[in-house]
Chains A and B, each alone.
Chain A
Amino acid sequence: MSESKKVFSDAKSALDGLLSDGMTILAGGFGLCGIPEHMIVAIRESGVQNLTVASNNCGIDDFGLGLLLQTKQIKKMISSYVGENKLFEEQFLNGDLELEFNPQGTLAERCRAGGAGIPAFYTKTGVGTVISDGKETRDFDGETYLMERALTGDLAIVTAWKGDKAGNLVFRKTARNFNAPMATAGKVCVVEVEQLVEVGEIEPDQIHLPGIYVDRVFEGQSFEKRIERRTIRET
């Protein structure tokens, strides 16, 4: 295998031929931590429209997925927590933006299941709440569970700290979050890494996500990594 087939020079070339109007994109990250910041900009520049985006959050007004709200490229969000941004609220209240709330663990498990060939699963999360409306419930061992469907996307856009040219990935600290499960659930998965290394430079035992899930990888130039709530102690 020629491992370099997966390697691209930048976000624009890595996404070339993969974007189309109305597609579903799974976007890794939690808040602004571990978001595919270069690909979000490239998607904005591509002008692709009517996107359904599954992402735990929707960025802030001028960074992350908020950039795609500015250009009204997002038709629907699947998220657990939004509203850190005024644009989101505005477009949602105007009816320009659809929103599907998923409990955070359900969103993560839907992606995990989607990547693992499991079409649905039962969970206690949301039983007896609006989340269970219209969903099948079933009792197991005296407890009620509700059925959630797996989630897959036409494209997964994720970020890792280090990746090799075969797409094997290592994440860093809490930037792993949704990047790993979402990487498995995209029909195509494109990864931006801070460091692209040769195959063999990462210890096989230290790889967090095997390259089998990764179709394309590129090294992002100068990650901004904006911090949403910089909180410090004095001493």
Chain B
Amino acid sequence: MAWTRDQMCERAALELEDGFYVNLGIGMPTLVANYIPESMTVTFQSENGMLGMGPFPLDNEVDADLINAGKQTITELPESVYFDSATSFAMIRGGHIDLSILGALQVAQNGDLANWMIPGKMVKGMGGAMDLVAGVRRVIVLMDHNAKDGSPKLLKECDLPLTGAGVVNTVITDLGLFEVKGGQLYLSELAPNTSLDEIRDRTEAEFIQ
């Protein structure tokens, strides 16, 4: 058994550092927040205009004016601060956010990322994803190694429309951890009970071990 989803999130959390400002994407990346050591201070940004996101509210704390980028109700913390969308993306585009963890449909060996559009299906839009991958200092993709039909998601080239070109720094899947350096993909860690042969079989991208 390779990494479970929880273990993937736990592994991703090891990439955080004390004092980091972090933006987590919708879905599995959100769960990374559950694995931060108590000794570490990490501030979460929500691109709709907040730093210092708190947990979901209790039933009697729900406030329609306080939501995250996934439009879920949330709470504030003593250190929270609010700002408008232009200011929010100025801090994203300006490189002030240390790390973003996002999901992906496809990642190419050169760090190209596709996670917003499947041609022929209803396109909902990129939201803030293109801004995040262009501006945040380090981008980690957290995704299943293969699609539901078994097809590889780590590819030589993405065939879906890109969210950003050459923007991914690290990819964590259920089978291992990869890093993109100098336009090449490196396998840095193998998940437990995963063989190199298995990972090669299930990956289209060329990677250096």
Contacts and interface: CB of A to CB of B under 8 A. Distances in A.
A84 B127 CA distance: 13
B122 interface: yes
Contact of A177 (B58, B84, B134): B84
A83 B71 CA distance: 14
Interface in B25-65: 46-50, 55-59, 62-65
B47 A232 contact: no
Interface string B77-108: 00000111110111011000000000000000
Contacts of A111: 86
A188 B29 CA distance: 41
Contacts of A173: 50, 63, 65-66, 76, 82
Interface stretch (A9-17, A30-38, A68-76, A214-222): A30-38
Looking at chain A's contact residues, the main secondary structure is: loop
Given A103-B130, A104-B131, A227 B49 contact: no
Contacts of B166: 128
A180 interface: yes
A63 B163 CA distance: 30
Contacts of A84: 124
A177 B135 contact: no
Interface residues of A, number: 58
A127 to B, nearest CB: 7
Contacts of A225: 64-65
A56 B85 contact: yes
A105 B83 contact: no
A58 to B, nearest CB: 10
Contacts of A177: 48-49, 84-85
Contact of A103 (B62, B66, B128): B128
A233 B58 contact: yes
Contact of B161 (A82, A129, A172, A234): A129
B192 interface: no
Contact of B46 (A83, A123, A128, A174): A174
B57 to A, nearest CB: 6
B84 A125 contact: no
Nearest to B83: A176
B67 A174 contact: yes
A65 B99 CA distance: 34
A33 B64 contact: yes
A146 B60 CA distance: 46
Contacts of B63: 173
B50 to A, nearest CB: 5
Given A173-B82, A227-B62, A131 B56 contact: no
A181 B87 CA distance: 9
A180 B84 contact: yes
B56 A231 contact: yes
Interface in A24-60: 30-34, 56
A81 B134 contact: no
Interface string A183-205: 00000000000000000000000
A26 B197 CA distance: 55
A127 B113 CA distance: 12
A124 interface: yes
A101 B62 CA distance: 31
Contacts of B86: 108-109, 111-112, 180-181
B126 interface: yes
A235 B124 CA distance: 34
Given A30-B67, A125-B134, A173-B63, A231 B165 contact: no
A128 B125 contact: no
B65 to A, nearest CB: 4
B44 to A, nearest CB: 13
Closest 10 CB pairs of A and B: A105-B89, A128-B165, A105-B131, A180-B84, A225-B64, A231-B72, A81-B125, A108-B85, A83-B124, A104-B128
Given A178-B85, A232-B73, 7 more contacts: A31-B48, A89-B122, A105-B135, A129-B164, A173-B63, A208-B84, A225-B64
